[in-house]
Structure 1
Amino acid sequence: AVTPHPVLDEAALGALFTPAEQRTAEQAARVALDDALIAEIQAHDTLVLGVPMYNFGVPVQLKAWIDAIARAGTTFRYTATGPEGLLKGKTVYVALARGGLYRDTANDSQVPYLKAVLGFLGLTDVRFIYAEGLAMGPEAVAKGFAQAEVDLNAALAA
């Protein structure tokens, strides 16, 4: 099994705010985990995120990834005119899987959140693929996957 990325906790924050030359071996190793994710995203032009809906939110694993890659001075910076995302010129495909129907409703908290956080990082070309109704019976599942195929084709053509 793959070890999940650690969450952003007090120890991780302490490591990130300690100057590199003053970090302990443990702190350096923790920062290196995030550095590797940042290098990976910087090296690619396309990102694909699989995002199931858990209790109206994103999975903790995705939140941990976002916390790892959102670093002031590296993936975003503050300027006199406001924040500027530094991960520009990339396309993000977000495949959403949901048991119910939430697209374009007030209960869709995922899409606004992802647009905001990814946009903050400079990732503004975000294309959503919806597979919804997956807990509503076989007909709804078939309809949900058919819509996902339509969304995917539109996202790839854009």
Structure 2
Amino acid sequence: MNILQINSSARVAGSHSTNLANQVSARLQEQHANANFKLRDLAITPQPALDETALQALFTPADKRSPEQAARVALDDALIAEIQAADVLVIGAPMYNFGISSQLKNWIDAISRAGVTFRYTATGPEGLLKGKKVYVVLTRGGLYRNTPNDTQMPYLKAFFAFLGMTDVEFIYAEGLAMGTEGEQRAISEAQSQIEALVA
């Protein structure tokens, strides 16, 4: 089994989403002693945003790309290779201003490539990353689950399904900014979800 963990907090240290994602990965490794583990922390090695250089590079044939364009595509290729090799994905996803972090959005843009991770067919799009298990740790300062303000979960669920990944479990830690008691309760509830879902 190959486990890929993506940390998308802007924080290198002290992140609830990272700490809880670490617990998911640790539990998986306890259950699968021979598992290979790969960590990509997007705060330590940030992926650049999708910009004009990246778009021009992607639409330029490989043998005609400039060195700058080739280097830009190579960054995306590395992320795509990681997710293609993974059997299980563990995503730490904090909520920033009602959405995902820019770090996670840049990763999403990097791995979304027509003809590689998805393709268009006569009957519609088809994801090419089928058969993977995904665990997403959602951390929020407030309480948004099952409300219109929970934009993270529907977006991520739709995105992973678009790439062929439909076996997705969401782990919630909410109320983290609602006092010490609320923070402790949120972490405890998330840990209980991890124990129940990563079994």
TM-score (norm 2): 0.77
Q: Identify the residue that residue 135 of structure 1 maps to in structure 2.
A: 177
Contact 1:128 1:155 in 2 (8 A): no
Matched, 1:83 2:125: yes
Q: What secondary structure, in the 3-state scheme, does the structure 1 residue paired with 2:105 have?
A: helix
Matched, 1:45 2:87: yes
Fraction of identical pairs, as percent:
70
Matched, 1:113 2:155: yes
Number of aligned pairs?
Answer: 157
Matched, 1:123 2:165: yes
Displacement after TM superposition at 1:154 (Å)? 2.2
Matched, 1:93 2:135: yes
| CA deviations over 1:39-92 (Å, ceiling 9, x no partner) | 000011011111110000000000000000000000000011110000111111
Structure-1 separation of matches of 2:108 and 2:197 = 22
Structure-2 separation of matches of 1:111 and 1:2 = 25
Give the partner amino acid of 2:64: Q
Matched, 1:18 2:71: no
Structure-2 separation of matches of 1:92 and 1:103 = 19
Q: Identify the residue that residue 31 of structure 1 maps to in structure 2.
A: 73
Matched, 1:150 2:150: no
Contact 1:44 1:90 in 2 (8 A): yes
Structure-2 separation of matches of 1:116 and 1:153 = 25
Q: Which moved further from structure 2: 125-134 or 61-70? A: 125-134
Displacement after TM superposition at 1:10 (Å)? 0.7
Displacement after TM superposition at 1:2 (Å)? 3.2
Gaps of 5+ in 1: none
Structure-2 separation of matches of 1:155 and 1:70 = 27
Q: What secondary structure, in the 3-state scheme, does the structure 2 residue paired with 1:48 have?
A: strand
Q: Identify the residue that residue 24 of structure 2 maps to in structure 1.
A: none
Q: What secondary structure, in the 3-state scheme, does the structure 2 residue paired with 1:88 have?
A: coil
Structure-2 separation of matches of 1:2 and 1:131 = 23
RMSD: 1.1
Q: Larger relative CO (CA 8 A, sep 6+): 1 or 2?
A: 2
Gaps of 5+ in 2: 1-42
Runs of 4+ in 1 over 2 A off after TM superposition: none
TM-score (norm 1): 0.96
Structure-1 separation of matches of 2:188 and 2:45 = 34
Matched, 1:55 2:88: no
